[in-house]
Amino acid sequence: AQTVTQSQPEMSVQEAETVTLSCTYDTSESDYYLFWYKQPPSRQMILVIRQEAYKQQNATENRFSVNFQKAAKSFSLKISDSQLGDAAMYFCAYRVPTSGTYKYIFGTGTRLKVLA
């Protein structure tokens, strides 16, 4: 079964500190994309970072970076220099091709609290 597991329902981090959100997934596909989405309390989901499975280099977007371990099927998100605006639900997802289109599988989310 294709699944995404986020084992941390809630995390806290002190402002300016670093936090890592974990994500593991299960797929037999070799061609897929991985994503981290952020959903602030206003509920508009936005893309934080993406990783192509065929790329060995970990993706980085400013303060956000991933640790992609393909063999272990692990895709964690590191947030450096945490800011109050980083407080949100974070969803890990992957996209796999299926029947001429794509299917997105999402995890259950991790709620990140940033402490001032």
Partner 1 sequence: KAGVTQTPRYLIKTRGQQVTLSCSPISGHRSVSWYQQTPGQGLQFLFEYFSETQRNKGNFPGRFSGRQFSNSRSEMNVSTLELGDSALYLCASSLGGTGRNEQFFGPGTRLTVL
* Binding mask of the shown chain, residues 32 to 61, with x at each position contacting partner 1 by CB under 8 A: -x-x-x----xxxxxx--x-x---------
Our CB check for partner 1 shows the closer of 18 and 111 to be: 111
Decide: 78 and 66 in contact? Cβ < 8 Å: yes
The 8-class DSSP code of residue 92 comes to E
The yes or no reply on residue 64 touching partner 1 (CB under 8 A) is: no
Residue with tokens 């289109």, as numbered in its chain:
101
Q: Beta partners for 115? A: 14
The yes or no reply on residue 114 touching partner 1 (CB under 8 A) is: no
Q: Round to whole Å and give the CA distance between 116 and 114.
A: 7
The yes or no reply on residue 103 touching partner 1 (CB under 8 A) is: yes
The yes or no reply on residue 73 touching partner 1 (CB under 8 A) is: no
Q: Round to whole Å and give the CA distance between 83 and 14.
A: 9
- Applying CB under 8 A, which residues contact partner 1? 4, 6, 33, 35, 37, 42-47, 50, 52, 91, 93, 98-109
